[in-house]
Structure 1
Amino acid sequence: MEFTAGGRFEVRMTQADVGKRVSVRQLTESGGPAEKFTDTVGVLTSWDDGVLLITRRTGESVRIPESALVAGKVVPPAPARRRGPAATYAELALVGARAWQPVESEPLGAWRLRAAAGFTRRANSALPLGDPGVPLDEALERVRGWYGERGLPAYVQTATGAEGTQESLCAELEKRDWYAEVSAEMRIAALAPLGDRDADVARVRLDRTCDEAWLGRYQRSKAPGPHVLHVLGSGPSVWFATVPGEAGTPAAIGRCVVDGRWAGFMAVEVEPDQRRRGLATAVMTALARRALEEGASAAWLQVESRNDGARALYEGMGFAVHHHYHHYRPA
């Protein structure tokens, strides 16, 4: 990336550019036969007390001492992704929230406090979709208090890496000693190619509700209570997939929520000794075909950034990263 004018490094940005996407170069090693530099691209989320804070697309925060800065400039927003359907962060945030509906919720300005007795962070976190209507410190105190009353840890779900995401909010949370406990990817794809895959869908049974066998395979809940059934059953049009196995325990399961043009895939799990036999593909293909019948045309799913196996599987199915999301909690 070009940083120079007439062969000289230049810093062509100021503190007034906080909130913009920038590219900077810092000196990481001086002396010796050659100096070494590191380049960073992301949103300039703060520039205070001689330190720049840049939030990368993945949500990682990079602190750069002003004294090490040798070049920098504002750059255009990340180009629109060519893979997958057109989508905004705001649209996907709402679609994702409707697929994991809490038992109770309460507005805080344009934020929404959500709780479901601790089952899934997505249904037990504050979702900021705008201004909370009060200063941030007061909003966070209300978040702490609301979840504390319910005996739950306080979480704020944020997003990075797409137009309209919340890099600045992430930086403000980190300044207040909140940290990202878990980060994940929101991936999207066209739905028709998934439904067209050659998979053994004849083995897959689709139901409107999940039974005890399905819940027995689901690893996210050891003792499913009414709150678990509420969250799993929530959504505009919910389908559960089961591949029967031995001794009444499914060999594979999955869940799909159809919401307008979107079909969301989640809870895809396979018996460990049945993996690499195409069962996950069969489950998702069967669910995709049902979603296509209901008029959906686009697909989404969420996968933790550290789950390399699942990320590789979904990459092979055509799912591309749209943005990253994070669950922050106070230290």
Structure 2
Amino acid sequence: MSGLRARDIGHRVVVRHRIPGGLTDIIGVLASWDPQTLAVRHADGNVHEIAASDITAAKTIPEMPLRPVDVEQLFLTTALGRPAAETAYVGQWLLRASSGWTGRGNSLLPTGGPGMPVAEALKHAEAFYEERGLPPQALVRLGSPEADELRACGWVDARPEQSDVLVMHTTLDHVNAAPEYEVLIAERPGEAWYAAAFDGPVPGHAPTVLEGAPKAVFASIAVDGQTVAVGRGSMTGHWLAVDAIRVAASHRRRGLGTAVVQGLARWSGALGGRRTYLEVLEENTAALATYTRLGYREAYRYRYLTKR
């Protein structure tokens, strides 16, 4: 098969093969491989299985350059990748509540129009959170008109002591190299996954939020029988969200976090994933350096605002 192997699963490939009456090429993502056959997922979603005996040439396609991202689209995509336990809308603005677990799961996402004056929409948001015993909070993209509008209505920085959150993106081709460790991908997280992901008891709504996306998986790496690194991946369209990356303190600086990202990327690539994003605090310099080395670049940054 001209060099293609299992390590190339998740990469874009071109395969020339025999068909009745001649030869044809298929371009797509290598979904599976064994010595007798391979499967290529085309951009239209169809999977083409090709027998090894029919292949005349096959190779990987060089990494795609990192194209500009549609920031507005990505801003909404991040909410779909990890939906809150409870949601409601004010026009197109998304209200999210998850009993206080995580800022993302308990904040207004002002995207699109609220269908009414901003000041009136914010009163609806305040009532929504007050009814649930939560502080009114909004996740705003820095530099956006919505951030300026909320500030003009008296909303202020909810976490002035914390750095900006960077939303970073790249193409899947940049991060789907073969991991140095065996990465287990599961549709549901087990006790070992949760034990590695949290110190102490698991927050009550964490399973609802983490397991609530329509297409999500949970990655883990075990060393000497102990789960020492975990992460979560979810698919929204062609976007792979990577989050909940955590490595045991005793096993850091060994490339385990990188391997988790790569394992999730290879899972996503076989399903038609093309791009990937993640979020990281700017002050988390170690994680930021790792993601930058992998090819992630800043798309935008956000902060949380609250009613003064």
Shorter chain as normaliser: what TM range? 0.7 to 0.9
Q: By how many angstroms is 1:228 displaced?
A: 1.5
In structure 1, how many angstroms separate the alpha carbons of the residues matched to 2:91 and 2:174? 40
TM-score, normalised via structure 2 length? 0.73
Counterpart of 2:166, as a letter, is E
Query: What is the match of residue 84 of structure 1?
Result: 66
Q: Which has the higher contact order (CA 8 A, sep 6+)?
A: 2
Return the TM-score normalized by structure 1. 0.68
Deviation, 1:220, is: 8.0
Task: Say if 2:189 is the partner of 1:210.
Answer: yes
Deviations 1:18-62 (A, max 9, x none): xxxxxxxxxxxxxxxxxxxxxxxxxxxxxxxxxxxxxxxxxxxxx
Alpha-carbon separation, structure 2, partners of 1:131 and 1:282 = 40
Q: Deviations over 1:117-161 (max 9, x none)?
A: 112211211111122122222222221111011011111111135
Q: State how far apart, in whole Å, the 2-side matches of 1:128 and 1:220 are.
A: 32
Q: Does 1:118 align with 2:61?
A: no
2:211 matches 1:230: no
Q: In the alignment, is the contact (CA less than 8 A) between 1:188 and 1:300 conserved in 2? A: yes
Match of 2:171 among 182, 190, 203: 190
Aligned 1:24-43 pairs, distance under 5 A? none
* Alignment match of 1:243 (pick from 215, 221, 239): 221
Structure 1 residue runs of 4+, over 6 Å off?
Answer: none
Question: Which segments of 5 or more consecutive residues in structure 2 lack a partner in the other structure?
Answer: 1-63
Aligned counterparts of 1:101 and 1:260: Cα–Cα separation in 2: 15
Change (3 A) 1:321 1:201: same
Q: Which residue of 1 aligns with 2:281?
A: 304
1:195 positional shift? 0.8
Q: Where does residue 4 of structure 2 map in the other structure? A: none
CA contact (8 A) 1:215 1:224 kept: no
Q: Which amino acid aligns with 1:131?
A: G
> CA offsets per residue over residues 263-283 of structure 1, 9 Å max, x none?
111011101110011111111
For residue 288 of structure 1, give the secondary structure of its aligned residue in structure 2: helix
Q: 1:83, CA displacement in angstroms?
A: 6.4
Aligned residue in 1 for 2:129: 147
**Cα distance change of structure 1 residues 171 and 91 upon mapping to structure 2, 3 Å threshold:** closer
Corresponding residue number in structure 1 for 2:241: 264
- Per the alignment, residue 24 of structure 1 pairs with none
2:120 maps to which residue? Answer: 138
The CA distance in 1 between the partners of 2:67 and 2:194, in whole Å, is: 32
Equivalent AA in structure 1 for residue 186 of structure 2: D
Number of residues of Structure 1 aligned to a counterpart in Structure 2? 241
Q: Is the 8 A contact 1:85 1:298 kept in 2?
A: no
Residue 141 to residue 249, structure 1, CA distance change in 2 (3 Å): farther
Asked if 1 retains the 8 angstrom alpha-carbon contact of 2:213 and 2:234, the reply is yes
Partner of 2:46: none
Q: Are the equivalent residues in 1 in contact too, given 2:137–2:158 (CA < 8 A)?
A: no
User: Which of 244, 248, 270 in structure 2 is aligned with 1:293?
Assistant: 270
Q: How far apart are residue 294 of structure 1 and its match?
A: 0.5
Q: What residue is the counterpart of 1:45 in the other structure?
A: none
* CA displacement at 1:245 relative to structure 2: 4.3
